[in-house]
Amino acid sequence: MKTLRIFFLLLFVSVLTSCGQQKKYISYTVQQGETMKSIAKDNDIKTRDLLRLNPDISKKPSANTVIIIPNKDYGKSVEVLDSSQRTHTVLKKENLFSISQKYGVSVEALKKTNNLHGNSISVGRVLLIPNKEKNVAEEFVIVEIDSNFITHTVIKDDTLFNLTRSYQISEEALYEFNPALKEGLNLGMILIVGEKTNDEAEVNIFEDVITDKPLNVLLMLPYKLNSFDVNDEEFEWDNRLLNIVTDFHAGALVAIDSLRARGVQVNMDVVDTENNASKISTILRETDVDNYDAVIGPLFLKNAKQVSKSTSTPVIAPIFSKTQTSVSDNNLVKVAPNKQLLEDKVLDYLLKSYKGEKIIITGDSTVTTGAKISQIMAKLRTHDSIDDITVLKPNEGYIKKERFIEVIDTIQYKNWVLLVGDDILVTTDVVNNLGVMPLEKRDIQLFGFGMNSNYDNVSNTDLARLKFTFSKEVFIDVLSVEARSFEKLYKQKNHIRPSDFATKGFDVTYDTLLRLMNGSFNDGAKEGVSRRVASKFDYFKRMFNSTENNGVFLLQYQDNLELLQLD
């Protein structure tokens, strides 16, 4: 009994001491973007009363200004904590998000436990830390907390170096945003990796759009499941086609799973077109395609055109066709950029960057390449300062090193060499001869339209030495957060690494669904440029014509053999 009385006495003293230490007013550090009005609202006080407490502070104080606010806990009875209950004293530059990540709990749980209504917390406040939550859904890639910050969920193989490189943020800034990093980088940790810029806001315009409306998509692909015959001479092609189709489908499923995890309602129906016009006609008769928000596929453009003519629903044609410039329909969406855009991308860069460099154009001796070179020269000469352009063509099928030496400028030193065409021998001659040329008094940069199989036999070291700059329809930065996250999710689901067509399936489906969240695909297509794992989507709607994707990349080899995206 004596022990029990002592316990209650100590408890009473402890409560009295705690109440005696409570302060009526406490200090608070103003966060970026906050005003006295917003701080007053978060602390259940009138703005004029807050200004009276801080007579020397303006209505819009700068970030990190220390002000006085009422202590919400003043006068409240102190709860006796369970021995397992954790607490945290708020430090300078900490916020609810960084504290939630330090203890592995959600912001909502933290606010509920501490009876917080807003997002502001004062320095020195003691917070009760709720128990860790279980079965927290894994989020995909990048999740934006609010309009000011971007975060990253730590995955396997993440390092501080890779994060600073991927997000162009210094280690010091990373630690400042995330004090919990001092205890190490942990799997599943969500880090603030920077503040949104205007450019990032444009690229990520869809990421914070969530709709309550279910999205209904019809996937039309040529599985040809009912027509396989191993004795048929077309079996080999059919088998290869089936691999393409199933990979595309698998990538689409990862996209849908990722969006469902974010709370988006997606319903997808799948039909087998059999790559047959008659079968497609049957599907169109038996299916009310107008009930869908979008049709992804058919795979081949001629079949996609057939579907688009029978419905007002947007029909997303996912792969390139040589005939696509002549195929059009008001609700047809061509995902693959036209090849002319590859040329335009490089030439526009040259015209914008030109500062007196000597221009040398080289290519094979075919009539087609000759005509293309003439067109290129005409476009380059639209620049007021570009007049003298040297054309170097093969002699007896190849270009000797001496011919390059003759035309390379060693006075001004700046030389741009533009390689036209896909001839393997010419490509090899150009890269090999220029790549080993002494760079003393010779600044040589190589440009090309695309990078196809004609570059397979050249040295990447030579390309890096020449700062090879080229355009491409797809580009995967294998160290990027997006690429590694997608590969991880795809391998978890399919137990293999994603192919190019699996990545295409993911990118097309994910981007299409995000644009549909804006109300309709046409509305979403107007919202701007988006970048997915390997593709860039920059849609342009021609009047009474198809919607076309102008998204191509401009890439440049760096000294360390990595590719830098210039746009």
210-267 tens-digit pLDDT: 556 789 999 999 987 665 443 444 444 456 888 899 999 999 999 999 888 878 889 9
Domain with CATH 3.40.50.2300 in the chain: 215-335+481-540, 341-472
- Mean confidence (pLDDT) of the chain: 79
- pLDDT on residue 87: 82
- pLDDT on residue 417: 93
Band of residue 74 on the pLDDT scale cut at 50, 70, 90: low
Q: Answer whether residue 338 shows pLDDT above 80.
A: yes
Q: Answer whether residue 146 shows pLDDT above 50.
A: no
> Average pLDDT, stretch 145-169?
68
In the CATH scheme, what is the code of domain 1-80? 3.10.350.10
- pLDDT on residue 202: 37
- pLDDT on residue 108: 75
- pLDDT on residue 70: 78
Q: Answer whether residue 536 shows pLDDT above 70.
A: yes
Please report where in the chains the tokens 């040297």 appear, as a residue. Answer: 390
Please name which of 367, 395, 362 lies closest in space to residue 377, comparing C-alpha atoms.
362
Q: Is 530 exposed, middle or buried (0-12, 13-18, 19+ CB in 10 A)?
A: buried
Cα separation, 221 vs 274, in Å, equals 7
- pLDDT on residue 119: 64
Using a CB cutoff of 8 Å and minimum separation of 24, what contacts does 317-325 make? 318/248, 318/504, 318/505, 318/508, 319/504, 320/473
Residue 22 C-beta-side C-alpha neighbours within 13 Å: 15
The encoded tokens of residue 234 equal 């077309």
Per-residue pLDDT tens over the stretch 266-299 = 999 999 998 899 999 999 999 999 999 999 989 9
Question: Which of 106-110, 125-129, 415-419, 489-493 has the weakest average pLDDT?
Answer: 106-110
128 and 113 in contact (C-beta within 8 Å)? yes
- pLDDT on residue 296: 96
Domain with CATH 3.10.350.10 in the chain: 1-80, 142-196
- pLDDT on residue 81: 45
Please report where in the chains the tokens 């059999």 appear, as a residue. Answer: 274
Q: Answer whether residue 350 shows pLDDT above 60.
A: yes
Highest mean pLDDT among 86-95, 399-408, 502-511: 502-511
**Does 339 or 119 have the greater pLDDT score?**
339
> Average pLDDT, stretch 196-204?
43
- pLDDT on residue 24: 62
Cα separation, 498 vs 153, in Å, equals 21
Q: At what angle do helices 277-286 and 301-308 cross, to 10 degrees?
A: 30
Please name which of 294, 296, 295, 301 lies closest in space to residue 277, comparing C-alpha atoms.
301
Query: In which order are the strands placed within the sheet that holds 215-221?
Result: 266-272, 215-221, 294-296, 315-317, 332-334, 547-549, 539-541
Band of residue 153 on the pLDDT scale cut at 50, 70, 90: confident
> Average pLDDT, stretch 305-326?
91
Per-residue pLDDT tens over the stretch 511-527 = 999 999 888 888 888 88
**Phi-psi category of 394—alpha, beta or left, where left has phi over 0 and alpha has psi -120 to 50?**
beta
Amino acid in position 485: S
Q: State the architecture of 341-472 in CATH terms.
A: 3-Layer(aba) Sandwich (3.40)
Q: What percent of the chain has pLDDT over 90?
A: 32
**Does 436 or 502 have the greater pLDDT score?**
502
Superfamily of domain 142-196: LysM domain (3.10.350.10)
Question: Which of 100-104, 114-118, 208-212 has the weakest average pLDDT?
Answer: 208-212
Sign of CA dihedral 409, 413, 419, 425: positive
215-335+481-540 is a CATH 3.40.718.10 domain: no
Tell me the three state secondary structure of residue 421.
Answer: coil
320 and 302 in contact (C-beta within 8 Å)? no
**Cα torsion through 91, 96, 102, 103, rounded to 10:** 110
- pLDDT on residue 344: 94
